[in-house]
Amino acid sequence: MANPFQLNAPGLAHDPHWYRKAVFYEVLVRGFADANGDGSGDFSGLIDKLDYLQWLGVDCLWLPPFFKSPLRDGGYDIADYYNVLDEFGTISDFKRLVAEAHARGVRVIIDLPLNHTSDKHHWFEESRNDPDGPYGDFYVWSDTDEKYEDARIIFVDTEESNWTFDPVRRQFFWHRFFSHQPDLNFENPKVIEALFDVVKFWLDQGIDGFRADAIPYLFEEEGTNSENLPQTHAFLKDLRTMVDENYPGRIIVAEANQLPEEVVEYFGDAEGPECHMCFHFPIMPKLFYALRDQKAGPIIDTMAETPNIPAGAQWGTFLRNHDELTLEMVTNEEREAMLGWYAPDSRMRANVGIRRRLSPLLDNSRAEVELIHALLLSLPGSPFLYYGDEIGMGDNIWLEDRDASRTPMQWNPDRNAGFSTADPGKLYLPVVQSLVYHYNHVNVEAQLASSSSLLHWMRQMLAVRRTHPAFGLGSYRNVPTEAESVLAFIREVEVDNAEGEQPEVVLCVFNLSQHPVAAQLNLPEYAGRGLRDLFGGTPFPAFGDDGALTLTLGSHDFYWLRLRSASSNTASPHTEALPIIQAPEAVK
């Protein structure tokens, strides 16, 4: 069959700030495509699907850990930083993946858990067996489990303490996550050296950057909560210096599940930059909260509390990922409300969060799935999508822990959803066969054949976003309205085009309510200016002479509107050109 996704192979454009406009896509190698039919996804399978990802409009892949691991924490328990899981392929397969992605203009970042290893890592084996040997001080050992008592337990479902007694060394070792994941001792310069070597090794394989997993927990200090310590920031400044000096254009993305004022510290400052990007953990749950509360307030407040970031930095925004939908960044009242709304069955909960995929969270409401994506794609930050959400994949809460939302990608209605030719019982996890999300009807092939599908809608959204630099690079300004269900904001950036520097101003308006609403916006600086819809180019009524504009929005409706040029209020070919969205051959 002809490949319906094949486009040209543009290669990578030179752009040191690529990540500030990029759309990222988190893809589990294990879960995407199984090329050799052994029941597990692999690098070759992912390579086969790169045309699809390019067609969708993805700019950069994020690959969660694929290193040698006993897989007791989805690969975040690394046994060997320098080797990959046998079932995924070889390092040369990985390099081929990077090269093939780059040929299609798609970058690749990987996940690097530096805070801890698996207890099967040889560093730990040697540390526990030979306290005076070269690895004796690689982990945090203690004769007592009463140190650092102000550090909270993160995996509250499974862990009772951050210390575990090791019967071999007859001491306790420190771990912020599972008890089979000992924390490395960052006070030991040899550990830092070893980890810098790991980072260099992977950057030498051609990756475009890495996600620094669980970064707030590197150091411990008595009398503190052992999170976000100054020593951690000093380590990150050194790491950034090494990356900038040796690998310009490659990025570090901080995974710091912390309050806005704490997360922002992970960007560093002009004198001492740290990470190029930080995930914006606080805004994510507020989007879900606002949707059920049907009020824009929580989003407006969180954006107001979000500090400015240094030039050249960017937020990473997301709706879902391989973890539970974490509720660490909301108040106790908000958390209780969200658990009631989104996790009525206790099986849907994990640690301080909810282990469900996006579509089931939103009761398979297409309008809500569209609305929350429209928010994600237009609020400040570079969006990180999660594989399968572009087709509204479901989950399986009967699986353990976060595996609920790590099931195989659904490609077609064939055996194993087209993910693998293996005997179904051999798959790493079963494909989703629930009534509503069964792979018979929720799959890429079916959605490709339907021009009104979520998949085509997503592709168009990414295409429109790409055409308007205001979304990636623009400033953000809230526009107050009386209607409490309406969120309105302006994204604005100076763009250089044939007519010289011109501001691109995009007005985004969302109705978070299930009921229609009319909202008046007052922007006197735009008095008399017209607007155009970004999708079809339809002219909208102009702002009045006093700068007032009344918009009506249907249930869960939204607009992305571009302010027309000040001089004429008429379309100019350069500033108002609309993106041409082409349907693939298969649906023409």
Ligand X SMILES: OC[C@H]1O[C@H](O[C@H]2O[C@H](CO)[C@@H](O)[C@H](O)[C@H]2O)[C@H](O)[C@@H](O)[C@@H]1O
Catalytic residue list: 213, 255
Residue 294, sorted as left (phi over 0), alpha (psi -120 to 50) or beta, turns out to be left
CB 443 within 8 A of CB 482: no
Q: How far is the CB of 581 from Ca ion (least distance, A)?
A: 34
93 binding Ca ion? (CB under 5 A): no
CB closer to ligand X out of 182 and 472: 182
Task: Give the interface segment with ligand X, choosing from 71-79, 198-206, 406-414, 536-544 (CB under 6 A).
Answer: 71-79
227 binding Ca ion? (CB under 5 A): no
48 binding Ca ion? (CB under 5 A): no
Counting Cβ atoms within 10 Å, is residue 401 exposed (0-12), middle (13-18) or buried (19+)?
middle
Residue 25 contact, options Ca ion, ligand X, none, Cβ 5-8 Å cut-off depending on partner type = none
Residues in the chain: 588
Nearest CA to 255 out of 307, 217, 284, 212 is that of 212
CB 564 within 8 A of CB 505: no
Residue 16: CB atoms within 10 Å: 12
DSSP code at position 212? E
Number of H helices, E strands in the chain: 16, 24
Q: How far is the CB of 279 from ligand X (least distance, A)?
A: 10
CB closer to Ca ion out of 85 and 264: 85
CB closer to ligand X out of 154 and 299: 154
Q: How far is the CB of 311 from ligand X (least distance, A)?
A: 27
Task: Give the interface segment with Ca ion, choosing from 33-41, 201-209, 273-281, 506-514 (CB under 5 A).
Answer: 33-41
44 binding Ca ion? (CB under 5 A): no
| Separation of alpha carbons 410 and 420, rounded Å | 10
Which of 34, 73, 227, 274 is in the footprint of ligand X by CB under 6 A? 73
403 binding ligand X? (CB under 6 A): no
Rounded (5°) CA angle 314-454-34: 80
195 three-class SS: helix
Which of 36, 326, 514, 575 is in the footprint of Ca ion by CB under 5 A? 36
Q: How far is the CB of 62 from ligand X (least distance, A)?
A: 11
Which of 41, 113, 273, 383 is in the footprint of ligand X by CB under 6 A? 113
List residues bridging with 475 in a β-sheet.
492
x-or-dash pattern for Ca ion, window 335-364, by CB under 5 A? ------------------------------
131 three-class SS: coil
List residues bridging with 520 in a β-sheet.
550
316 binding ligand X? (CB under 6 A): no
Indicate the helix (H) or strand (E) that contains 239. helix 230-246
Which of 52, 124, 177, 457 is in the footprint of ligand X by CB under 6 A? 177
34 binding Ca ion? (CB under 5 A): yes
Residue 531 contact, options Ca ion, ligand X, none, Cβ 5-8 Å cut-off depending on partner type = none
110 binding ligand X? (CB under 6 A): no
Q: Is the dihedral of CA 345, 350, 353, 358 positive or negative?
A: negative
Q: How far is the CB of 93 from ligand X (least distance, A)?
A: 23
x-or-dash pattern for ligand X, window 253-282, by CB under 6 A? --x-x-------------------------
489 binding ligand X? (CB under 6 A): no
CB closer to ligand X out of 39 and 113: 113
Terminal-residue alpha carbon distance, the chain: 16
x-or-dash pattern for ligand X, window 317-346, by CB under 6 A? -----xxx-x--------------------
List residues bridging with 25 in a β-sheet.
61, 385
CB closer to ligand X out of 257 and 447: 257
42 binding Ca ion? (CB under 5 A): yes
- What does each C-alpha distance from 342 to 259, 346, 355, 438 come to in angstroms? 22, 11, 10, 21
| Separation of alpha carbons 183 and 192, rounded Å | 13
Task: Give the interface segment with ligand X, choosing from 47-55, 70-78, 162-170, 459-467 (CB under 6 A).
Answer: 70-78
Nearest CA to 282 out of 251, 297, 267, 303 is that of 303
Which of 31, 45, 74, 381 is in the footprint of ligand X by CB under 6 A? 74
| Separation of alpha carbons 575 and 562, rounded Å | 10
| Separation of alpha carbons 530 and 112, rounded Å | 48
CB closer to ligand X out of 326 and 572: 326
Full 3-state SS string of 257-272: CCCHHHHHHHHECCCC
List residues near Ca ion by CB under 5 A.
Answer: 34, 36, 38, 40, 42
- Site residues for ligand X per CB under 6 A: 73-74, 76, 113, 154, 177, 213-214, 255, 257, 322-324, 326, 351
